[in-house]
Structure 1
Amino acid sequence: MRIVLGLLVTAVWGLSFSMIKIAQETFDPLFLLVLRFVLCFLPAVFFVRRPQVPLRQLVAYGLAFGIGQFGLLFFGIKAGLSPGLASVVLQLQVFFTIAFSALLLKERMTRGQIAGIVLGFAGVSVIGGITKGSVTIVGLALVVCAAMSWGAANLIVKKMAHADPLGLIVWSSPIPAAILLPCSLAIEGYASIESSVRSMDWTSFGALLFIAYPTTVIGYSVWNALLQRYEAARVAPLTLLVPVFGLASSMLIFDERITLPKAVACGLLVLGLCVNQVSVHRRQVPSAPHIKETLS
């Protein structure tokens, strides 16, 4: 069941890059992020209880998840990194998550898991090498930092082992929305925001709803639940399949051609995931690792 849920989430996340591209034809990037988190908060706040965690942890997750991960990602794209390459570079969160967990939570890795990660990284590297689009040092650095922020957000989730995953997403969403709104007004301008709202059609509105609900509310609630229950090394590598689903959805929606190098890259990602999961099952690690008190 863990694998099935993880695959469903990565499929939704892969499709979300096409939905973001559709939505960005109407909305500016920062304002799109504001709308995303506002919709994640409303109307769910009236039906979902606030998670029973300290406010500082809720704020830390909102900053790492909303500002660090998504804010830096969109700024990185704006700074010159192509969206396709950004989706690949963002998968470095796998290595940051596992490294943070090994360092702070003392989660051990087997040689099989390491081999699986290496294969996955090889697949990501191949995709990065065949992705067309401009690359800037600033844009690349920002998206690498976004991946690091995602890894930090994953670690915060593991610390909040008993927090309601859905409540965590809903109640942390106002934090990035409140910070990103003035940024959007200052950088993109009120006139641009007003124009985008006036020009919104059913296609862009549907893409916005997909980004907010299946991608963020449902997707990250399931993701956080998996992180709370299993070791990071068992869960994080699943996101290596996001570029695979991203390429497939782009082929179906935008008629992108899947070349032989792209097929090889996807095969490496799938093989890396399989090696990692086989190693996990052989190891038979307890599903509730101890979290050191030093993290409190």
Structure 2
Amino acid sequence: MTARRLQLDPFAIVCLVGCAALWGLNQSATKLAVAEIPPLGQAAARSAGAALLLALWTWARGGRLALGAATWRAGLLAGLLFAIEFGAIFVGLQYTTASRMVVYIYLAPFFVALGMPFIQPGERLGLPQLAGLGLAFSGVVLAFSEHLGGGSAAPNGQAWWGDALGVGGAALWAATTLTIRASTLSSAPAERTLMYQLLVSAVLLGLASVAVGESLPAQVSTLAWGSLAFQTVVVTFASYLLWFWLMARYPATQISAFTLLTPVFGLAAGVALLDEPLTLRLGIALAAVVAGLALVQRAPRKP
């Protein structure tokens, strides 16, 4: 197994920026599809489809997805957290905009930074890294400040409910990350870690969809099906597999910091897909995020 590295290298940075771009686009894609495909059913279908692709990919490479007796408890917990996280996000998008949702989801690095020292003392952030996280998040808040105040993002002034679900999703994402790093999953193959989450979430979200009485409409547009396919193949299968591979090899706090780029990409996707306004704030926010991430990447001085 490849040894864990103390700093991100250029390959990891390119991969993380690519993941952030895909996840930023994913919020707009989900928002487009949720108008036609019910949220819990959509999330369940996404997980089930990605699980099938992961199994086929592993089989084609000559491997097998033995879940293993040593990892099943941690795997079930990670899958449960994963299911609740995406249930909250998909339902929340019915009440708030993609731009608002992406801000709250990507509070996750702060929850990770708060919890990681308790399980990995060597990954404690120093003052420059903490300042970098603060600067980057300030840029994100600036970019979306016009979306954070009003209740017009949803009918009947219910945007706060979607916002709350977004914050909950961020906490659950961080809890999943910490669970993986603190358990036997930290040394398990990335495919196994992802498969636990996909299988458990597909079952739980599918049951939840049936329980609340969701049903597929008689007609679904090509755009909605395309959005679901993008979420399944590109985001949930390919990018998540890459994410867990990176998590097993690089410091979690540094990796999670790169997710702060995702809201900037999310705003760019909103401009293209949801007709949201493009302002000077995006450029200023991007500069703040890049500067903050540069601080996070600084290796702390040795005593």
Structure 2 residue aligned with 1:65: 82
Secondary structure of the corresponding residue to residue 96 of structure 2: coil
How does the TM-score come out when normalised to structure 2?
Answer: 0.83
RMSD (Å), alpha carbons? 2.1
Deviation by residue 1:158-198 (Cα, 9 ceiling, x = unmatched):
23222111232234312112112232123243xx32x2xx4
Deviation by residue 1:25-67 (Cα, 9 ceiling, x = unmatched):
3201111101111101224335251344421111011111222
Match of 1:268 among 288, 293, 301: 288
Distance 1:117 1:165 in 2: 27
Distance 1:91 1:57 in 2: 24
Instruction: Kindly indicate whether residue 161 of structure 2 is the aligned counterpart of residue 151 of structure 1.
Output: no
How does the TM-score come out when normalised to structure 1?
Answer: 0.85
Alignment gaps of 5+ in structure 1 = 285-296
Distance 1:77 1:97 in 2: 23
TM-fit CA distance, 1:136? 4.4
TM-fit CA distance, 1:237? 0.6
Structure 1 stretches of 4+ with a deviation exceeding 4 A read: 134-137
Match of 2:164 among 141, 144, 147: 141
Instruction: Kindly indicate whether residue 260 of structure 2 is the aligned counterpart of residue 236 of structure 1.
Output: no
Structure 2 residue aligned with 1:92: 107
Distance 1:42 1:50 in 2: 15
Distance 2:249 2:301 in 1: 16
Structure 1 residue aligned with 2:3: none
Which shifted more, 110-119 or 164-173? 164-173
Distance 2:275 2:210 in 1: 35
Alignment of 1:216-295 (within 5 A): 216-277=236-297, 279-280=298-299
Deviation by residue 1:255-277 (Cα, 9 ceiling, x = unmatched):
43311223322322222112212
Deviation by residue 1:231-252 (Cα, 9 ceiling, x = unmatched):
2221111000001111222223
Structure 2 residue aligned with 1:200: 220
Deviation by residue 1:80-123 (Cα, 9 ceiling, x = unmatched):
33332111111110100111102232222121101110101212
Distance 2:245 2:289 in 1: 23
Distance 1:8 1:89 in 2: 20
Q: Is the 8 A contact 2:143 2:264 kept in 1?
A: no
Deviation by residue 1:125-157 (Cα, 9 ceiling, x = unmatched):
223422262464443333212111100111122
Secondary structure of the corresponding residue to residue 27 of structure 1: coil
Instruction: Kindly indicate whether residue 99 of structure 2 is the aligned counterpart of residue 74 of structure 1.
Output: no
Distance 1:223 1:44 in 2: 14
Distance 2:222 2:96 in 1: 29
Q: Is the 8 A contact 1:130 1:261 kept in 2?
A: no
TM-fit CA distance, 1:283? 5.1
Which shifted more, 211-220 or 263-272? 263-272
TM-fit CA distance, 1:17? 1.5
Secondary structure of the corresponding residue to residue 229 of structure 1: coil
Q: Is the 8 A contact 1:28 1:188 kept in 2?
A: no
Distance 2:54 2:174 in 1: 26
Match of 1:9 among 14, 19, 34: 19
Deviation by residue 1:175-226 (Cα, 9 ceiling, x = unmatched):
112112232123243xx32x2xx42343322211110121111111111122
Equivalent pairs, count: 275
Instruction: Kindly indicate whether residue 123 of structure 2 is the aligned counterpart of residue 113 of structure 1.
Output: no
Mark the CA change 1:283 to 1:8 in structure 2 (over 3 Å): closer, same or farther: farther
Which shifted more, 226-235 or 27-36? 226-235
Distance 1:209 1:112 in 2: 41
Structure 2 residue aligned with 1:101: 116
Structure 2 residue aligned with 1:28: 38
Which of the pair is proportionally richer in helix? 1
Distance 1:143 1:6 in 2: 22
